[in-house]
Amino acid sequence: MELMYTIKEQDAGKNIKTFLLERNISRKLLISIKHRGGTVLLNEKCVRLVDRLSEQDVLIVKLPDEIPSDNLSPQNLETLGFPLQIVYEDDFLLVINKQHGIACIPNMRYKNLTLANSIMHHYKKINQQTTVHFINRLDKDTSGLLIVAKNRYIHHLMNDKTKIKRKYLAIVEHTIAKNITIEHAIKRDETHPVKRLVVRDEHENGKSATTIVTPKEWYQQHTLVECELLTGRTHQIRVHLSSIGHPLIGDSLYGGGVNYINRQALHSYKLQFKHPITNQLLKFEIPAAHDMKQVILQLEKLQGQVHNTLFQIT
């Protein structure tokens, strides 16, 4: 991976090390560049980090290749019904439309059949020597958009997830009549291996969490809502909505009925963020997954609604 900077007047006179530290290239990464195959070029010549910069100089930093973990083998999952759906790709990051039913990272149950393994297969095909750095992850049975950094430096630049706008579509039990902001801290349920709980006692330890819920469509006993995450806690939307009496349909873990769909009806449909290198504002939007579309059609049919265009069904 290569980073290029054209030096501006305000940076003239600085040494290269200071300039790079100001751009969040850490001392650890500078050491890695020096000893693991990276290079620093100034006007196409090798230089020392103590050398000074002049206006209009061109500084190029070639980051060393990252060594993939032995535990993360490339796997082509297309034959199993999980093709890798790349929405956007450049030298620095990927945006992927994840299908439901596939875990993001290996665990005891899914050791090789994960999205990370599929991404490693893609890297192998394009001859890119790196590993997988998820900026945001989705639960196994949540579908939609997520971001993957191609280098730990890019991951570091994007680590402040409050600068990434993330919006989800969810179908919940009962009627939500108006906009709601849910601000309940979340903690692990010590009696369950994966479940989370909201913290209602200020003396309990929990991580702060905020979800903005906007109703979009109303049905007889259900509501289609848009959820915007201001934080990114495990199961946040599922826990928050369940805590106010509106569990997601299909989400049996948090009390949702399973009559219409056999997974939580949750889909990451909008992402917006500034590119960590170019500073370009990137916006992505995709319609809900097929099974959620079918649920909407069923709910609309039950009360004689005409299908709305939010899901772009043809």
Instruction: Identify the structural domains of the chain with CATH numbers, from first to last.
Output: 2-62 (3.10.290.10), 78-157 (3.30.2350.10), 162-274+287-311 (3.30.2350.10)
Indicate if the pLDDT at residue 314 is higher than 50.
no
- How far is Cα of residue 177 from the mean position of the Cα atoms in its chain? 29
Q: Residue 44: which pLDDT band, with cuts at 50, 70 and 90?
A: very high
- The per-residue pLDDT for 313 is 42
Q: 235-284: per-residue pLDDT in tens? A: 999 999 999 999 999 999 999 988 899 999 999 999 999 999 999 999 99
Known catalytic residues are 139
d(CA 48, CA 38): 13
Q: Which helix (H) or strand (E) holds 88?
A: strand 86-89
Phi, psi angle pair for 227, to nearest 5°: -120, 125
- The per-residue pLDDT for 302 is 85
- The per-residue pLDDT for 311 is 52
Residue listed under structure tokens 């790079």: 20
Q: Note whether 250 and 256 are within 8 A (CB).
A: yes
Q: Note whether 273 and 158 are within 8 A (CB).
A: yes
Q: Note whether 146 and 98 are within 8 A (CB).
A: yes
Q: Residue 305: which pLDDT band, with cuts at 50, 70 and 90?
A: low
Instruction: Please choose, from the candidates 76, 140, 82, the residue with its C-alpha nearest in 3D space to the C-alpha of residue 107.
Output: 140
d(CA 288, CA 115): 19
Residue spans of alpha helices (H) in the chain:
16-22, 27-35, 115-125, 152-157, 236-243, 290-302
Q: Which two tokens stand for residue 104?
A: 């993001």
